[in-house]
Amino acid sequence: MIQGLNKHFESRIRLGVMSVLMVNDWVDFNTMKELLSLTDGNLASHIKALEKNEYIEIRKAFVGKKPKTTYNATKLGRTAFKNHLSALEKFLNR
């Protein structure tokens, strides 16, 4: 077992979501879906899990008459993800 891994980031989709949010401030749903080649439902379920753990925050707004949902990594999420990546690095460098 690798010490320090965060089970919330074991999914390749959650890894992808967090990776996108680490290098971008706010990313909208459609952009995230396209970047990761996901279906609406698949992305939504993983977003919910990350939000539940307070790793991401969600902002809902209207642009004209269309709803627009955007996501951002929280401070807690950024720290947890960096720690997860550090644990992976340490494992790979052994």
pLDDT digits (tens, 9 = 90+) for 75-85: 999 999 999 99
- Is the pLDDT at 44 greater than 90? The verdict is yes
Examine residue 84 and state whether it is found in any structural domain, yes or no: yes
Cα separation, 42 vs 93, in Å, equals: 33
Contact status, residue 74 vs residue 58, Cβ threshold 8 Å:
no
* Number of compact structural domains in the chain: 1
Examine residue 1 and state whether it is found in any structural domain, yes or no: no
pTM: 0.91
Examine residue 4 and state whether it is found in any structural domain, yes or no: no
Share of the chain above pLDDT 90, in %: 88
Arithmetic mean of pLDDT, 31-59: 97
Question: What mean pLDDT value characterizes the chain?
Answer: 95
Which H helix or E strand runs over 29?
Answer: helix 29-36
Contact status, residue 57 vs residue 21, Cβ threshold 8 Å:
no
Predicted confidence band of residue 1 (pLDDT cuts 50, 70, 90): low
Domain housing 34: 10-92
